[in-house]
């Protein structure tokens, strides 16, 4: 049977395989609320400008509201024979009010219709994700404040480098997530233009008011070029790029939680709520939530890559290829939302083993840089000379299998005669972190102030 919405040009019905590859209703039904919102704005404008009668506009508006209610209550019938959400709404509209339903599509095309629907969806998704990222920032900042002075090893190359604090480490992720929010905010600002009224690709000869529909839908302005309006998917790419980088940040935190929760590290304990067991090994506590966050970053990055590949060869204006912009995007943004929720839960429940962190912070000669700084500051050695002397002291300690602080003063003076017992002050990990008072440093006082600053800002801005 021909599709009544566009079948006038065709003598035969689509092949079953054509229907299968062409249908998008299985996933674009997610746009239902946005499609109806766009149609309500459009019909209000058509009625106000006199393009259609006020009676028809009122009948269409009332029927659209009814359809919205049916969809929200789960009473709406979906069928793959109608391809997409736009056809479903129009078909049901026709059932409800007859021929007047056909006037709704005056001065628009499915091309600008789907473009406005998708922008509305992406805008809502960004707003929801922003709230979730802010919630994770609050959880991290609160945990950082509670453990501002808990000393732990800082790593480079996954080798002990210098002592830091647990709070300082968590605040690094607060900064990363702040940049993520900024990228989403930038993407939202650029997408907030309305393509409605661009029609198929060339605009329309009807005297429409695009500013009115843009305002009704909460856009800043109409888009400026009708060709660009229907072919642009930059707003999706930008959003997926922000999502991919945010997912990578969550994955990095997930990886650290996996390591920290292992017996070999023993830095933190995850709650039962975010751990699982083994079907065969009763002792196991698996950090599955963190592992899944780490894994799901791949599908989010993949959605970005897939869309870029779809777009790279497309001429202007609309091509059916653009139907492939939605399914991966829906999945990616929903996956990111789930990952944010899981990570926020894990962080809230996560408890550091402060004693184990302190023990690990002193391993691997982590205060060697403090010793070198002492030689520069107190003995006025050039840094490269201080580096050489410190290296010899570390080699001696390693040979004796003791910590730097366990070397005797006589052993130290044999390498650098000017050393005094004052050197032992800088060899404690607490003294090390307390001395890092430079802006952005790990000193507990810095961490406390920064955590409070973030919590205040997040309370104010959300």
Are the C-beta atoms of 198 and 221 separated by less than 8 Å?
no
Alpha helix segments (H runs only) across 205-326 = 210-216, 226-231, 234-260, 288-311
How many CB atoms lie under 10 A from the CB of residue 283? 7
Helix pair angle (234-260, 166-191), 10° resolution: 170
As given in the structure block, the two tokens for residue 251 are 């994955």
DSSP state of 13: P
Give the pairing type, strands 193-194 and 221-222: parallel
Q: Which of 259, 277, 329, 258 is nearest to 300 (CA)?
A: 329
Q: State phi, psi for 161 to the nearest 5 degrees.
A: -115, -70
Are the C-beta atoms of 276 and 342 separated by less than 8 Å?
no
Catalytic residue list: 157, 278
Q: How far is CA 458 from CA 143, 249, 300, 346, 450, in A?
A: 14, 19, 26, 19, 12
Residue partners of 97: CB distance under 8 A and separation at least 6? 59, 60, 63
Q: Which of 345, 336, 290 is nearest to 180 (CA)?
A: 336
| Look-up of token digits 């993520």 | 180
């Amino acid at each position: 049977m021909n599709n009544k919405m566009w079948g006038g040009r065709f003598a035969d019905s689509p092949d079953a395989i054509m229907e299968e590859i062409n249908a998008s209703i299985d996933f674009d039904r997610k746009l239902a609320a946005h499609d109806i919102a766009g149609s309500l704005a459009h019909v209000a404008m058509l009625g106000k400008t006199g393009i259609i009668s006020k009676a028809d506009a009122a009948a269409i508006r009332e029927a659209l509201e009814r359809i919205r209610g049916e969809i929200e209550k789960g009473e709406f019938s979906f069928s793959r024979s109608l391809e997409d959400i736009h056809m479903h709404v129009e078909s049901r509209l026709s059932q409800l009010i007859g021929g007047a339903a056909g006037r709704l599509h005056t001065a628009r095309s499915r091309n600008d219709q789907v473009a406005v629907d998708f922008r509305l969806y992406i805008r809502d998704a960004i707003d929801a994700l922003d709230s979730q990222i802010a919630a994770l920032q609050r959880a991290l900042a609160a945990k950082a404040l509670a453990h501002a002075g808990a000393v732990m090893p800082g790593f480079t190359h996954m080798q002990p480098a210098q002592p830091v604090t647990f709070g300082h480490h968590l605040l690094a992720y607060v900064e990363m997530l702040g940049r993520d929010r900024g990228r989403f905010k930038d993407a939202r600002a650029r997408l907030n233009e309305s393509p409605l009224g661009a029609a198929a690709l060339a605009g329309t000869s009807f005297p429409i008011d695009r500013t009115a529909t843009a305002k009704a839908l909460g856009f800043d302005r109409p888009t400026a070029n009708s060709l660009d309006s229907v072919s642009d998917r930059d707003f999706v790419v930008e959003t997926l790029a922000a999502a991919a980088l945010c997912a990578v940040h969550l994955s990095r935190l997930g990886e650290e939680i996996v390591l920290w929760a292992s017996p070999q590290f023993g830095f933190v304990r995850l709650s039962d709520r975010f751990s699982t067991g083994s079907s065969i090994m009763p002792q196991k506590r698996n950090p599955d939530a963190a592992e899944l966050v780490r894994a799901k970053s791949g599908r989010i990055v993949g959605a970005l890559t897939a869309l870029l590949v779809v777009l790279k060869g497309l001429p202007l204006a609309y091509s059916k290829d653009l139907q492939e912009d939605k399914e991966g995007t829906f999945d990616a943004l929903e996956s990111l939302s789930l990952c944010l929720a899981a990570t926020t839960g894990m962080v809230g429940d996560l408890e550091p083993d402060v004693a184990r962190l302190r023990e690990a912070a002193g391993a691997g000669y982590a205060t060697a840089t403090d010793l070198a700084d002492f030689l520069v500051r107190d003995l006025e050695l050039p840094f490269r000379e201080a580096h050489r002397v410190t290296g010899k002291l570390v080699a001696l300690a390693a040979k004796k299998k003791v910590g730097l602080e366990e070397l005797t003063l006589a052993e130290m003076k044999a390498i650098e005669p000017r050393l005094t017992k004052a050197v032992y002050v800088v060899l404690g990990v607490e003294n090390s972190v307390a001395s890092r008072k430079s802006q952005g440093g790990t000193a507990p006082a810095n961490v406390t102030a920064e955590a409070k600053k973030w919590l205040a800002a997040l309370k104010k801005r959300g």
